[in-house]
Structure 1
């Protein structure tokens, strides 16, 4: 008993150190595209949303109900979920045969990864999948070993929760089925308790189904276009996706993850085999998708969640202690420097090349737009942006001012559902960025009136330039 307490005490210190860094950093940088978008879910509580199921929005709504919101409080769920995920990964490694020492290094490697450092701060649907992954695996393994009714119930609840988190949770189904087939557990397919699991999962995701039925299955149409992105197979999006993942997870830890994945094929351990089925299914799905459209680095996070820790353990078992520990400590130091940069913003970057472009200056832009907006002599006026990715930040940071905001972009129809009316006929104060087309090129108006621009700088480098244009009598997109 004392040994168990000692082991978890050491895990507590490791996770405590990473958590303290995240808590310290959380209030010091603005919301990014996805963060702001999902935070808006919380302000527009609903049964589901266009691009994702509702669980991330429900969590944000709860935080907004309990607190005043803002960067610090809105990031508490992500920080907490990363602790839950790390504890689950630690238990997973012990179940896979690692000793306590090896498991601790596996968890340290996981948290030292750049991408998992970001996911430990920003609440995305992936955070929910990560936190639910290891309880799901434990329930599957218990069903395969003992088949108790409570484990089937838990499996149904977990699958339902995953379905409320993200649509790609459907990938768990073929992975679990493949594992059971490989184990020749054909009896489970005819077990009435399996129907119980399926029924519970369907009941839990019924809000998503009913909401889509009422909105012409908009989410499923959006996902089919969003994931596939095109019909032509190309190498460019594949290499772009690959480079993004190597950089985001840390090149050294990427190699460790590949080693863990390859090593898993030689393992006869049930826990590792199940991880292999799940990780490979996810990796193959996004690999195929990447030949059609670039895959964002956080989409295949579950693959790296499984195989960075597992690869660490496998390398330690082979006697690569000094090399592996050196890589992990170096990665942790780099991650700490990145977190420090988020707070102090010491670095100088070339004009329009700043990594802070998505998370810096939007509160200022919102204030300047409000001042210009109040000077427009019109009874029917609103703010507007021409790209939905800017819409999420502008909508969030202009909330204190109370102005109507339109997103003049049909790619993501979530904004049109929230706005609930057409912008045609409005006088619009349009905000455009250096990285988007100017208002005259993007929209049709009776008259365009330039109202100036705002240059966002940081340590002497230009982060972005925003232009304000009054569009009199907006007529539509070009």
Structure 2
């Protein structure tokens, strides 16, 4: 009997590892494919320029997202190789989520101590955690394009793991407090909103260990380490009149607060991360409250603090779907435990429906990305003229075309109306400077300054975000069309780039267009 049981356990473990490897391999294959197919997005190009122009910090974000790409950019790696970084971060995040789900299972954080052992295994819980990540559409976006949130996802999970250890009553080593300080510092170097998971760390430790914890050296040692690590950001801002902090406060506050924006935020979150994860979050939170697990409640703050803050910011118009990705990953280990137990109890219908719905959502999204829109749609159709996926296609060739035309016409720079166009051109059209012809101060002003008066430039217009030519009084004297580029996917028109030779910036007379 004992031998049969051992064989059964070994067989189950082997099957779980095969399933785990299959899930991870599927995700990596998807990300490798799209990483090689699509050009850099607006934000990706902006952050890879951080690596091309290394500094202690930057106008809108801390520097880690640039520093981590610097070795590959310095070596001249292509986009597809640079995109291996977010793919590796996604893989690490999956494995960390799995490990945390198993730790939560072992500590029985979702169950009363008196409850019977559940009818699920540790490996099953881990598989559910990875499956939840794989079924969340936005997680694939962050797995292909490196954003500060891609870094923060991994760091939040590591912070949860260290906090889980430090929350235990057993004696703690200096190395654990050092790890906490390093992780907090790295989070601070990734994104300013890292202050939110930091708050979750503090509250969790105070709730589980008591206020007396503050009388020990460990927390203060961790705080000093974190402060030293974020000193480059403080140093850079001190040299630039604290512009990053001013910008973040203005950016986060948004405009007038409206309830409908909060409702839209909730709807977008449901689509972006899927109803299955939302269901798991509800079940896990309810169970932790019911069982009065203070450690579990503290760890849930890694989700609730940033999610609530981001939700409130959305009412003012200041939030994006991927901002909550680290928070949802923090919830995933709990949701995996709750959903696995519900599935094992025989209540599978709703879960299965959600799994199928999310799988279809992901497949539709992947198909749309592959075809860059809806296959067979004519170029003059309204959906084709304003195709959001066109933003990920053709910029590499358009940048090379701009560089060729600028050199052919002896033009010293490129210019655009908005930074969202400038980031791709500055990357694919390097080393030419790119001037953003607006009154907004941003990172481009720090990199390239304002366009010098009296100079000519190659102005680039894009059909998906079309601007009037910069030929008003005080702008260029005239702008003349000298070339165009049609971006196509599988013979279908995606977008058009128009290139203008614009003469004498700062002309104080009536401008014309040729």
Q: Work out whether the TM-score is over 0.5.
A: yes
What is the deviation of 1:295?
1.1
Structure 1 residue runs without a partner (length 5+): none
Matched, 1:187 2:212: yes
The answer for the alignment partner of 1:358 in structure 2 is 391
How far off is 1:421 after superposition? 5.4
- SS across alignment from 1:50: coil
Matches within 5 A, 1:309-348: 309-318=333-342, 319=345, 320-321=347-348, 323-325=350-352, 327-328=354-355, 330-332=357-359, 334-336=361-363, 338-339=365-366, 341-343=368-370, 345=372, 347-348=374-375
**Counterpart Cα distance in 1 of 2:17 and 2:145:** 26
Indicate yes or no: 2:100 matched with 1:92: yes
Q: CA deviation at 1:207?
A: 0.8
1:95 shift after superposition: 1.4
Alignment partner of 2:250 out of 220, 225, 229: 225
Q: Which residue of 1 aligns with 2:504?
A: 473
1:118 maps to 2:138: no
Contact 2:132 2:277 in 1 (8 A): yes
Q: Matched residue of 1:429: which SS?
A: strand
Is it true that 1:423 corresponds to 2:432 in the alignment?
Answer: no
TM-score, structure 2 normalization:
0.83
Residue 421 of structure 2 corresponds to residue 394 of structure 1:
no
| C-alpha distance in 2 between matches for 1:469 and 1:239 | 43
Deviation at 1:193, TM superposition (A): 1.7
Residue in structure 2 matched with residue 306 of structure 1 by the alignment: 330
* Greater alpha carbon shift after TM alignment, 310-319 vs 190-199: 310-319
Aligned residues between the structures: 472
Corresponding residue of 1:197 = 222
- Are residues 64 and 5 of structure 1, via their aligned partners in 2, closer, same or farther at CA, if it must alter by over 3 Å? farther
Q: Is the 8 A contact 1:79 1:120 kept in 2?
A: yes
Q: Secondary structure at the match of 1:156?
A: helix
Structure 2 residue aligned with 1:134, among 143, 153, 157? 157
Structure 1 residue 386, shift from structure 2 partner? 1.0
Distance in 2 between the 1:209 and 1:302 partners? Answer: 24
> Structure 1 length normalisation: TM-score?
0.89
Q: CA deviation at 1:345?
A: 4.7
Say which of 311, 320, 326 aligns to 1:287.
Answer: 311
Counterpart in 1 of 2:27? 18
Rg larger for: 2
Structure 1 position 397, deviation (Å)? 1.1
Match of 2:321 among 297, 308, 311: 297
Q: Encode CA deviations 1:307-353: one digit per residue, 9 max, x unaligned.
A: 34532431331233354245335534542453355345583353223
Shift of 1:70: 1.9
* Counterpart check, 1:215 vs 2:240: yes
Are the structure 2 counterparts of residues 253 and 471 from structure 1 closer, same or farther at C-alpha, using a change threshold of 3 Å? same
Counterpart for residue 111 of structure 2: none
> Is 2:471 the partner of 1:438?
no
The alpha-carbon distance between structure 1 residues 445 and 218, as it changes in their structure 2 partners (threshold 3 A), is: same
Unaligned runs of 5+ in 2: 1-5, 106-120, 378-382
